[in-house]
Structures are given as structure tokens and as C-alpha cells.
Structure 1
């Protein structure tokens, strides 16, 4: 069941979507409340959840999405009078799902996070800000995910401060500053990541190393399916 909480005040009205058991989500919620915003908080747990029915009664100024798994309909996005903003855990070169995975598979030299206006399409709206950081050959999925979540949280914290001090003017300034940033390519689907995780038994050694670096994380290893059996990768302890 979806969970929704309200934190009332006399301030700007914010609908905040976060994730369950997420340190960043809790830090952001605390800052929103501390800033005096009138916050409605919706916590997501897994993909495919249905939005709370009474969420459509919300009417306010901003929608902020941080690591949320909900897909928000245009009907709800349009209720944000100033802006509906998503904090995407990837740079504009990687819209959609599996962003970190495909960046590692591509041996990308850098990665990053993006704040953008939300519309009815996935990772398609005008970009507000991009923050990038370098990747090294020593990086793996766990290390990049950790840095990504930290950068994403910091980006959202800064946006909350900007909205608190400048309101809609802050959004206008961010749009102007990032006018040259554009999304590249189509948003990837989850099934593309699932396909990457399925290893061809005839794979070369170099290609296997790329796939392992891009997809291995404890609990969700790459797999080989052969003659009706599924073999999951188990890495030796370092």
C-alpha cells in the first residue's frame, strides 16, 4: 500500500516523492519541514505501485521527486503551479533506467546527476542543472551508485535552499544557466538492463568483464541461462 504523510505549515506547498529506507529521502524531508514548507510526502517502495487516490486532491507550488519509483501522470504534474522537478540519477547522456549500468558498460569517463522539469515523458523535460564527476577504471557498480546518490541528495538539498530563498526566480535562473544541456537518445527501458544482465554462454573474456563491472551488485548478479538452468555469478571476496 502506498504511504502518504502531511507536514502542515503556512509556507510554500510541496509534494515530495521519496523512497522507503533511503537516508537521502529522510534528510531531504527534514530540510523541507525545517524550511517551513507545507509538505505532503509520498514514499515509494517498489516499481508498479499505485499512487494514493487522495493525492489527486493535492494542489500546490512544487513537486519534487527523489529516487521515487512512481510514474506521475500529467494530471498530477499540472497541479504544480511553479514547477514539477525530478532529480535523475544520471547525466543527460543516460535517460531512463539502468543509467549507471550502461555508463559503466560504455566505459564512460564521467558520470553525474540531473535536475529537470517533469513532463508526461520519461526524462524528457527541460534541464535545470547537471553535476558531473569523473569515473576511474577502479570504479564498480557499488562505488558509482554510492557517489551518485550522495551527489543527487546534495543537488536536491541545494534546490530546496534555492526555492526557499528565491522561489520561482531560482527555477528561472537554473533554466537559463542550463539552456545548452540537452537529453541525448531515447530513455532506456528496464528490460534493456535485464537483457544486459543475461550473459551469453559464448561471451568473450573482455566482454564478460564489461558486463560484470556494469551489472554486478550483491543480491542482483548477472546470470547465464543454459538448458533450463540459471547460473548466478558469485565473486570471490577481495
Structure 2
């Protein structure tokens, strides 16, 4: 039976992610980790731990999942309709009217394991990518608080709910394809795509003209980097 929790989350989210678990089980060892190397090292020290991933970009490989005593759980920052990377981006681009987060068992295939809980709301009509990702983090924290007692009960797996994943798991090439604008894009379509993709230090909308690539210059190049409504750079 698991005897500790390994919490895999971005460094800026670890403290808030651990807090509800500590309230539910003050004496339970909970180790925050951020990378795959951290995870392998932590498993050497705690080979019977339960793994919980909270909106982490780290893909846990099959060999680690096989070593665990029971299911590992992932809190995906999107609803079952948008598995994989950048769920907020694709929800906006495809015109979704609701959005949420999904807690599910991990399997070797990304965002495909049995679902144990979801949390969703109507999507505000005027929200953009930055706003939707901030809302996603809010929903994730709310769901984590609601599921904390079940997650720290290491004597049994969490019960599953009758929800199913829908659609393909989006990958990095899918996002990069959205960043490439067709040269005949009209103004309304450009605004729609910019709303979904947003602006960031590591990506930008771009278009190929005359054999050269042109990138969109951000409106505020010196603005701080924000993730999930939290400043990280």
C-alpha cells in the first residue's frame, strides 16, 4: 500500500497544491517534485508512494507507472473534450462554450486513463487564452480541495465516474500549426486565432510571405510572463 505522496507540479504551484492535502492528512509525507529526474529520485526513497500530478507538463513514462503500487493521478487543466497540451487554446479556437478540469488515472497514453472527477463552468464569451488558463488553475485548485480526502486515503484507489475522453490528444506540432497563419487570412479570423493562441515569450503567430517567415511583434514586449494568472517571469 502507498505510504507517501509524490506531488508533481510546476514549482510556482506546489505550495498551493500541497496545502489541501496537508489539511486532509497532516502527518502524511508529501514530497513536491517538478521534473522527471526528481520523480525518479523520489521513487528511490519512497518506492510505495502515490503519485499525483497537478497540471504538470511532465509526461510520466510507462516504466515509472508500472513501478507504483496503485494508480497514479493527473489533474489535467482541461475538460475530457480537450486532452493533451494547450486545452485552453484549442477550446477557444474550436468555439467551446464550457471549460473545466479533469482528474484521472494515469496511463502510458497521455490523457486517456479512467476519469475520477471533473469540474466545469460556462466559458465567458469575451475570455482570451490568458484568462481561460487563469480560470483553469482556479478550477484545478477547487477540484483538488474537493478531492483531497480521497487522494490522501492511500488504502484504496479513487472511484471512477462514467465520463469518457473525447477527441485526439493535442501535441506540440498541433499548437505550432495554429501559430502558422495562412497568407490569405481575413481580419476576423486573425483576431479569432490571436485570442486562442495569445502572445508569449516562446511562441508567436507567424506567416510565410515571399519565402520568408514574419512573426507577430507583441504589443507589450516587456510585460511580465504570466501563467495561470500568476506572474512567473
In which range does the TM-score fall when normalised by the shorter chain?
Answer: 0.7 to 0.9
Map 1:78-227 → 2, pairs under 5 A? 78-164=66-152, 166-168=153-155, 171-172=158-159, 175=160, 178-179=161-162, 181-219=163-201, 220-226=203-209, 227=211
Between the two proteins, the alignment pairs up a number of residues equal to 214
Where does the alignment leave 5 or more consecutive residues of structure 2 unmatched? Answer: 221-233
| Normalised TM-score (structure 2) | 0.82
- Compared with structure 1, are the counterparts of its residues 233 and 202 closer, same or farther at alpha carbon in structure 2 (3 Å cutoff)? farther
Q: Contact 1:108–1:135 (CA<8 Å) still a contact in 2?
A: yes
SS at the partner of 1:78?
Answer: helix
Q: Distance in 1 between matches of 2:86 and 2:154?
A: 33
- Compared with structure 1, are the counterparts of its residues 168 and 205 closer, same or farther at alpha carbon in structure 2 (3 Å cutoff)? farther
SS at the partner of 1:171?
Answer: coil
Instruction: Please tell me whether residue 54 in structure 1 is matched to residue 41 in structure 2.
Output: yes
- Compared with structure 1, are the counterparts of its residues 161 and 196 closer, same or farther at alpha carbon in structure 2 (3 Å cutoff)? same
| Normalised TM-score (structure 1) | 0.80
Q: Distance in 1 between matches of 2:4 and 2:41?
A: 16
1:130-182 CA-to-partner distances (Å, cap 9, x unmatched) read 11111122111111010001111221232223334x5555712xx1xx22x10
Where does the alignment leave 5 or more consecutive residues of structure 1 unmatched? Answer: 1-10
Q: Distance in 1 between matches of 2:54 and 2:117?
A: 15
In terms of fraction of residues, the more strand-rich structure is 1
- 1:71 positional shift: 1.6
